[in-house]
């Protein structure tokens, strides 16, 4: 299996600490989604909160990416995670005092979204530099598995805690989980950037250099486009699960936790499946990844057609399986040939595609759900996107 990066004690320490932080992150997402649903009962507001958590990445991640390529990446991640820690503390305090309102939740979602916009390029620039260069593809796989194990466990724990001790105390537990992560970040050692011999470019010229790289490298450009299409629809649907769990099937907070957790389980299986495949060659997105993208879009349609709770759980898990397998493959394709001094800029553009696509998709699906009904919205968005992507892949095949 492609797990060679675990030979590094430095990287193992990071994975251990990040497991706590990621568990807290997924508990936070469930708690904020449940607060949005509990306060308003509107799928559109749940979608808005999800969109505010991800949308800042569309505008800000490329700017943060330029900064990451110029500053100490270790110092940057400490600032980013420290800011997230303080915002989580503020959210817990407001909810515990009974001061939560839809406006307050929207504002805090936006602020956390800004911090996460910085976190994406910082994290993606940091983790490959915790190991030797030959382990970069292994790092991408292991980090994805770690993320999705938390995605499986965090929502289940969050849902149970919300149902038993309330959302305020759940947010307190989630906030405390960031403490071990911050401690580990102070202890890791980062490999120095490899000197390419080029003088630093002016800020916006450096930003354009990153954009030009993505546009001119055909495999990277295609990977970004296909990943964005999947993220817009499938990831967007997975970010607005409260209306499905409670609005369609009446399962409450426990049901939301279970639905998000089985999605996480599917994602973990997708991560391990990717790890079991032969190491990915640079320069081309594998056929399996292309097939997974189309399957993921058709699964959105199937989720919209789910008539039973068991079917909804099964389809959500399958959606997460294929989206995770594809996301790891795409990120590996982009990361393999990158120099360290370009990593922040290029991976920030991947953050725009992945997180920004999920944000726009969540917002759009939420609005459509208010108009058409949640499951009908899934059927229409999944069908149209699957047709468009299948047509693109067919034409690309003919051109090749």
pLDDT of 355: 67
pLDDT of 2: 62
Mean pLDDT (10-residue bins), the chain, 400 residues: 76 91 86 85 81 80 83 90 91 87 91 88 85 78 78 76 85 90 91 62 80 79 81 80 81 79 80 74 71 87 89 90 82 71 75 73 82 87 87 76
Tokens 């939560």, residue? Answer: 100
Q: How far is CA 148 from CA 43, 145, 154, 231, 240, in A?
A: 25, 5, 9, 16, 17
Q: Which residues contact 221 (CB under 8 A, 6 or more apart)?
A: 214, 215
Query: Cα 83–239–300 angle (5° rounding)?
Result: 155
* 65, burial (CB in 10 Å: exposed 0-12, middle 13-18, buried 19+): buried
User: What is the rounded CA–CA span in Å between residue 346 and residue 338?
Assistant: 8
Q: How far is CA 287 from CA 217, 224, 397, in A?
A: 18, 15, 11
pLDDT of 157: 82
pLDDT of 110: 92
Report pLDDT digits (tens) over 197-238.
555 678 778 888 888 887 877 777 887 888 888 878 887 887
Distance linking the first and last C-alpha atoms of the chain: 32
pLDDT of 282: 63
List the one residue out of 306, 234, 320, 239 whose CA is nearest residue 36. Answer: 239
pLDDT of 17: 92
Q: How far is CA 104 from CA 39, 51, 57, 95, 336, in A?
A: 11, 15, 20, 10, 41
Report pLDDT digits (tens) over 366-378.
888 888 888 888 8
pLDDT of 107: 92
Q: How far is CA 196 from CA 341, 353, 395, in A?
A: 8, 27, 38
pLDDT of 357: 74
Q: Is the dihedral of CA 16, 343, 228, 333 positive or negative?
A: negative
Exposure class string for 220-247: b at 16+ Cβ within 10 A, else e: bebbbebbbbbbbbbbbbbbbbbbbbbb
Query: Cα 213–215–219 angle (5° rounding)?
Result: 90
pTM for the complete prediction?
Answer: 0.69
């Amino acid at each position: 299996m492609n797990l060679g990066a675990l030979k590094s004690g430095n990287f193992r320490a990071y994975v251990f600490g990040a497991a706590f932080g990621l568990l807290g992150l997924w508990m936070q997402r469930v708690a904020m989604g449940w607060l949005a649903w509990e306060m308003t009962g509107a799928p559109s507001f749940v979608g808005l909160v999800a969109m505010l958590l991800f949308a800042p990445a569309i505008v800000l991640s490329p700017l943060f990416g330029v900064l990451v390529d110029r500053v100490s990446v270790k110092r940057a991640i400490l600032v980013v995670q420290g800011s997230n820690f303080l915002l989580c503390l503020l959210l817990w305090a407001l909810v515990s005092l009974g001061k939560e309102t839809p406006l307050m939740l929207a504002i805090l979602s936006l602020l956390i979204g800004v911090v996460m916009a910085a976190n994406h390029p910082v994290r993606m620039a940091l983790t490959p530099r915790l190991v030797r260069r030959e382990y970069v593809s292994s790092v991408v796989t292991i980090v994805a598995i770690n993320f999705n194990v938390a995605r499986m466990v965090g929502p289940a724990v969050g849902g149970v805690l919300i149902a038993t001790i309330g959302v305020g105390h759940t947010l307190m537990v989630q906030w405390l989980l960031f403490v071990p992560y911050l401690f580990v970040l102070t202890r890791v050692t980062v490999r120095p950037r490899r000197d390419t011999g080029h003088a630093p470019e002016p800020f916006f010229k450096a930003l354009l250099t990153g954009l030009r790289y993505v546009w001119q490298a055909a495999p990277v450009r295609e990977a970004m486009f296909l990943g964005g299409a999947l993220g817009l629809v499938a990831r967007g649907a997975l970010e607005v699960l409260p209306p499905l769990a409670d609005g369609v099937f009446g399962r409450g907070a426990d049901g939301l936790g279970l639905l998000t957790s089985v999605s996480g389980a599917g994602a973990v299986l997708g991560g391990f499946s990717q790890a079991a495949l032969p190491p990915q060659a640079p320069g081309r997105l594998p056929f399996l990844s292309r097939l997974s993208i189309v399957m993921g879009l058709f699964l959105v349609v199937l989720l919209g057609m789910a008539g039973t709770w068991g079917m909804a759980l099964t389809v959500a898990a399958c959606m997460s399986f294929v989206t995770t397998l594809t996301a790891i493959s795409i990120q590996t394709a982009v990361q393999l040939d990158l120099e360290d001094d370009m990593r922040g800029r290029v991976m920030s553009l991947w953050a725009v595609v992945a997180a920004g696509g999920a944000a726009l998709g969540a917002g759009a699906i939420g609005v459509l759900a208010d108009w058409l009904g949640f499951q009908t919205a899934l059927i229409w968005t999944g069908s149209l996107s699957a047709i468009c992507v299948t047509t693109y892949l067919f034409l690309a095949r003919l051109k090749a």
